[in-house]
Structure 1
Amino acid sequence: MTLPPEKASELKQIIHNHLTRMDIHGKIRDVLAETVRQELGTGHRPLSEEDFLRALQHRGIVDEVMRDLHFSQDIPATEASLSLKPATHFVDNEMTQLKKTNIDPARRCLYLQVLGGKAFLEHLQEPEPLPGQVCSTFTLYLNFRNQRFRSKPVPCACDPDLLEGFLLEVHKDSLGDGSRMVDATNMLSISDPVHMVLIKTDTSSETTLVSSYFLDWRSVLSAPNGKTSMAIELLGVGSECKVPVGVLNVKLELYPPLTETLTPDVIMTQQSLERQRTAEKERLFLVYAKQWWREFLEIRPSNQTKLVKIFAQDENGVNRPVCSYVRSLRAGRLLDTPRQAARFVSLLGMERAPVVGGGAKQEQWCSLLAFLCRNKGDCEDHATLLCSLLLGFGLDAYVCVGTKAKATPHAWVMTLGTDGSVTFWESLTAHRYLHRPIDPDAPPLAPSPSPQLCVFDLRDGSRWKAMSEEALRSVCAPGSTTSLPPLPALCASHLDPAATANQLELELRHLVAEHRKDLGLATVWDEQLSYLLSAALAAYELERCAGVSCGNEEFQDAVRRAVPDGHTFKGFPIHFTHRNARRAFATSLRSPFCDEIACCRGDHVRLAVRVRVFEYPESACAVWIMFACKYRLVL
């Protein structure tokens, strides 16, 4: 692998500073002096470079350098651009000061340090985890102007040990301004907040959205030394959006420091003007939306019962126009086709917003960052993400709201083809359905309303009442209001699919062997048969992803060759979106087909299991498992 020249020089500078901090030169001088005394003092030949390196390795100095030098990064999949490069997050063991070697001196950076959490009272009685013990953890996620970061997970506690540093690049988006050093005035006009999302992961790997917070970082512009500290009160989400969950101590630092700072009054005035402008736009849109709704209801009596969504609450209880949840989103090189995008979205978990005390469903349309960080959400979250990705792929895509069986509210995606075709996409399963309209006046009459009766010619004003594009742009276009959360880019998976599959397979083999041992049965594995199962699993994922079935003929032929005459082959494939071997095995055993394989009795019984893990963005994954056996029937 070849590094670009600028990255190579940056890496050299980092290593140089790390070696200086370790006083590596002093250690080398000591080793040199000792080696010279030992070797030359005995009359041996002159020391060579190999002798010197061997002495360094013998004393553990090389190992010490490599052990202490760590890098971690979370790079969004943005497309290459001269004016915008992804920020890199360097994690350093010492959190007391900013490492200047990590910074491009030609660009302005904001160093955001999290110096610990306080008063997370829900975890007041949380016991101290023992070394090696699995416990619930907090992970902090950040998004700032297309730069995403993730902290190291820390044990949940009343005062969680969240100590992390994030290096954020501050730049203007205008063409040609990306590489210039922004001054205080230009930074004051950058109203994009730092979106901070706190996620709790329990011992079974289930995630919970704890808080979603938008930090206005611009108070640092008035700090005399370019540094300021603050305590951020995090609030809950959903029905608990007014309840504090804890406090994060945060320190902000600009580098290079500003030569001329702004006064606090100037910053407060700018923020006040932005809030007033946003409030006025939202007020005017609300007035327009009310007028549009009155006109819609007057068109025909049946409109009174139609499900129409104009506003939806996000995780913080803020009412936002539904159009603001959908924006064209390009996945860079992480996704290649619209159907692959649908497969990715379907792998994210489905979970309705929790309701304290039961009752009706709580509707909650999460911001995209909160949805991606939690890796699960409601059907509306899936639909808005899929629609955004399909728009990025150049399709004419829309989110539809309606009801399923038993009048259950639901959301899905629709695309309109240039040939007039209409396709519905179920974002929870990646299934696609071609719309086949029927004549509403033809007998027998179908129940109304029904999608089959709909005519999806959205340009027909006699059938569809459109909203003003200008009104929608005023509150939904990127940058139109300061209350609109920035859209994050997708991040590549941090999983190693081969290593993950191998580990899962080893755990499943152990579970199968233990299960058979309890039944008094021996377990003999057939390695070749296990390997042959890979072809079938790859074909299953390809069919789910692209809708194309191929490769089964070769798999069936290989199995016929691997199973001798007079023997029987049984196979059971199953699909998961998690990586917990015990859960997967327990679920599989509920099927009588898998139970027959795991408890197989007969002559010359040979068992096989194969796992394939297919990675997708945001560490979503499709886990395919096949259990199989071959044996000779005994009459």
Structure 2
Amino acid sequence: MSLSEDELSELKCSIQAQISRLDVKNKVRAVLDEVYATTGGRETGLEDLLVALRRRGIVDELVGQLRFDEELPGRIEPSKCEHPPCSTRLHHEALNDIGMGIARRHLCLEVQGGRAFLEHLGMQPRESAGTLSLSLHCRAQRCHSRPAPCACEPDLRVSFVMQLHSGNAASRMADGASLLAIKDPVQMILVRTDSAGDTELVSSHWLEWRSVLASPGSGWNTAIELKGVESESGVSVGVLDLRLQLVPPLEQPLDRDVVKAQLALEQRRKAERERLFLVYAKQWWREYLNIRPSHASRLVKIFAQDECGAVQPVCCMVRPLRAARLLDSPLQAARFVSLLGRARPTTLGYANHSRERWASRLAFLACGKGEVQEHAALLCNLLLGFGLDAYMCLGSKHGGDFYAWVMTRSHSGTTTFWESQTGCRFLHLLSTNTSVSSMTPPTPRHPYHTVGCVFNHSAFYANIQPTVDVSDCLFDLSNSSHWKAMSPEALSAAGAGNGPAPPPLTPPAIDPIVASNELEMQLRVVIAQHRETLSLSTVWDDQLCYLLSPALAAYELERATGLVPGKAEFEDAVRRIVPDGHTFKAFPIHFNHRQAHRVLETALRIEEEVFVVKRR
């Protein structure tokens, strides 16, 4: 079998990677020293050395690690997955897997541990203070680490493997110039989880990895200082020691000055784009105020601040997201977003005003909870991914609080509001304004009171209608007498709809059947304990418990699709199993967590649930 020059080069790279991983050089050196000692310093031939290496098993070990597929590495087809694979392994396992896929360059980011997490100073590693975990994102790939106990020097030791090839370039090996042109940084999110299962965003960091291209052997050791988030964005929370390795390494590293010049050029271009958009936004805002001075009090938000304190146009917070068949419909997407937890901004001491934090998508997904604008942004992204004409709406609810929701428009002109916190939908109906003043106006179907602006990844519109009341507003965005638009070219130049690929959704990490059974057993325990304090005995009916499964499935299907199937069959089954003279009592309740104690605490605050739990 003949090999082309490219295939031969790739084969050499694979062998070199395995030699480096197995530390063959040091093993050979040790065998040489032993052979030299046993021969009394006499000259040793190559055959004698090979015999000694085979006797030690070094040759067999190296050959055994070089597993070849039926096709040559250079002929591996590009991945058919929508998102390239990203794995989390121990360092030696990660390098072993990389060595087998040498048709593509990978970045191996090894976290060698943490230090200077002074908040946990004096704390023993096994004390019940929660755990720390890392989430990474680069080039539409997400990785997660195993949790490590909180400590001043947390044992965060893991390697993340990320594929640098994508699209049409995935079928050939990228050279140094191609890698230098990749502008996607590595985003690192550190999350703390307490003993109750509540998560907290500790730090968000953007790592520029391309310095490894100028390092000898394509390996680079560095330490990054993690900063806090929101009001603590300037405070150090700890240090992570990292090693970045490009596999297979570049044959010739790039000149360090070339890499620095490229990074500096990109930074200048970014700063210039931001400056030009700021100039345009100021001019646009002056024009907006000239239409009607009262517009100054309307909720028109052009810029937003992320968890790191960086300011960027709100349109950059929205970008179409395809769920990669993890979600089958827009209704399922709304259900998914509504299941994510709700978080409120935290402050130290008294704060007479609140600033909305627009967390990055990875921070939101890693924590599993966020504020209303983060829920709305994720839902808008998913609806855009499903091909809907979706926009984020900023305004207020009845009561005057800032609020965000999602709007979709159909070809027929119908406007639908999507509530990201509950998954509910509301059809927008204009108020008739014909009610008599002495009569109480009808309560609107939706909870939204005012709207100031709507936007997505490619458009921004500010409300210039005489009223900001949602019930009286028209949502024909093409009507320039009702909505003032920003230039799509200006938004695109500012980075809206462009930039690095956003982090994708990932398949569930838990087995829903196992988790459901575990939660049921935990609920049985805590309910029985609670009833015991009331001097009540508890007997569980497994058959009746099983018959409740169709009802729970129907409630979930109703949330996801709006349909309520199987109601008659469920009622018939319950009537057949409940004896004469007994009454069946049940009350459906929804939770977005799996903590049995919290479920019971919430249930005891609901009158219907109290009746069921305390029933004799």
Per the alignment, do residues 479 and 245 of structure 1 end up closer, same or farther by CA in structure 2, a change over 3 Å counting? same
2:397 corresponds in structure 1 to 404
Alignment check: 8 A CA contact 1:95 1:164 kept: no
2:89 corresponds in structure 1 to 91
Q: Is the deviation greater in 441-450 or in 280-289?
A: 441-450
Alignment check: 8 A CA contact 2:83 2:140 kept: no
The alignment partner of 1:278 has SS state of: helix
Q: Is the deviation greater in 289-298 or in 121-130?
A: 121-130
Please state how far the C-alpha of 1:110 moved relative to its aligned partner.
1.1
Per the alignment, do residues 521 and 82 of structure 1 end up closer, same or farther by CA in structure 2, a change over 3 Å counting? closer
The alignment partner of 2:336 has SS state of: helix
Q: Is the deviation greater in 590-599 or in 555-564?
A: 590-599
Alignment check: 8 A CA contact 2:82 2:324 kept: no
Please state how far the C-alpha of 1:82 moved relative to its aligned partner.
4.2
The aligned runs of 1:82-121 (5 Å cut-off) are 82=80, 86-92=84-90, 98-99=95-96, 103-121=100-118
1:370 aligns with 2:363: yes
Structure 2 letter corresponding to 1:356:
L
Alignment check: 8 A CA contact 2:554 2:566 kept: yes
1:70 corresponds in structure 2 to none
- Partner Cα distance (2:237, 2:387) in 1: 41
**CA deviation map 1:180-236 (0-9, x unaligned):** 100011111101000100000011111011111110000111111111100101111
1:391 aligns with 2:391: no
2:446 corresponds in structure 1 to none
1:414 aligns with 2:400: no
**CA deviation map 1:138-181 (0-9, x unaligned):** 000000101110011000111111000011111254xx322110
Identity of aligned residues (%): 50
Aligned to 1:344, which of 336, 339, 353? 336
The alignment partner of 1:572 has SS state of: coil
**CA deviation map 1:248-294 (0-9, x unaligned):** 00001111111111111101100010011111111111100000000
2:49 corresponds in structure 1 to none
Q: Is the deviation greater in 296-305 or in 495-504?
A: 296-305
- Partner Cα distance (2:481, 2:205) in 1: 43
Alignment check: 8 A CA contact 1:183 1:258 kept: yes
Please state how far the C-alpha of 1:467 moved relative to its aligned partner.
0.4
- Partner Cα distance (2:207, 2:365) in 1: 19
1:3 corresponds in structure 2 to none
Per the alignment, do residues 255 and 102 of structure 1 end up closer, same or farther by CA in structure 2, a change over 3 Å counting? closer
2:492 corresponds in structure 1 to 473
1:164 corresponds in structure 2 to 158
Please state how far the C-alpha of 1:522 moved relative to its aligned partner.
2.7
- Partner Cα distance (1:208, 1:103) in 2: 38
The aligned runs of 1:230-309 (5 Å cut-off) are 230-309=222-301
1:136 corresponds in structure 2 to 130
1:449 aligns with 2:490: no
**CA deviation map 1:30-71 (0-9, x unaligned):** xxxxxxxxxxxxxxxxxxxxxxxxxxxxxxxxxxxxxxxxxx
1:562 aligns with 2:577: yes
The alignment partner of 1:511 has SS state of: helix
1:497 corresponds in structure 2 to 512
Alignment check: 8 A CA contact 2:99 2:247 kept: no
The alignment partner of 2:202 has SS state of: strand
The alignment partner of 2:271 has SS state of: helix
Per the alignment, do residues 118 and 375 of structure 1 end up closer, same or farther by CA in structure 2, a change over 3 Å counting? same
Q: Is the deviation greater in 298-307 or in 235-244?
A: 298-307
Equivalenced residue count is: 516
Normalized against structure 2, the TM-score is what?
0.80
**Alignment RMSD (CA, Å):** 2.3
1:571 corresponds in structure 2 to 586
Alignment check: 8 A CA contact 2:289 2:295 kept: yes
Please state how far the C-alpha of 1:85 moved relative to its aligned partner.
5.8
Please state how far the C-alpha of 1:443 moved relative to its aligned partner.
7.3
- Partner Cα distance (2:582, 2:357) in 1: 55
1:428 aligns with 2:421: yes
**CA deviation map 1:362-400 (0-9, x unaligned):** 310011000000111111101111011001111110001
Q: Structure 2: where are the runs of 5+ without partners?
A: 1-13, 23-77, 442-448, 450-466
1:546 corresponds in structure 2 to 561
Alignment check: 8 A CA contact 2:125 2:154 kept: no
Please state how far the C-alpha of 1:418 moved relative to its aligned partner.
0.6
The alignment partner of 1:597 has SS state of: helix
- Partner Cα distance (1:383, 1:81) in 2: 32
1:126 aligns with 2:123: yes
- Partner Cα distance (2:471, 2:94) in 1: 64
Q: Structure 1: where are the runs of 5+ without partners?
A: 1-12, 22-79, 602-635
Alignment check: 8 A CA contact 1:84 1:178 kept: no
- Partner Cα distance (1:97, 1:206) in 2: 31
Please state how far the C-alpha of 1:352 moved relative to its aligned partner.
2.0
Normalized against structure 1, the TM-score is what?
0.78
Please state how far the C-alpha of 1:520 moved relative to its aligned partner.
3.0
- Partner Cα distance (2:586, 2:340) in 1: 27
Alignment check: 8 A CA contact 1:348 1:375 kept: yes
**CA deviation map 1:435-486 (0-9, x unaligned):** 0013569976999431111111100111111100000011234545xxxx64
Please state how far the C-alpha of 1:111 moved relative to its aligned partner.
0.9
The alignment partner of 1:491 has SS state of: coil
Structure 2 letter corresponding to 1:436:
L
Q: Is the deviation greater in 313-322 or in 542-551?
A: 542-551
- Partner Cα distance (1:500, 1:273) in 2: 51
- Partner Cα distance (2:501, 2:538) in 1: 55
Alignment check: 8 A CA contact 2:407 2:418 kept: yes
Alignment check: 8 A CA contact 2:99 2:248 kept: no
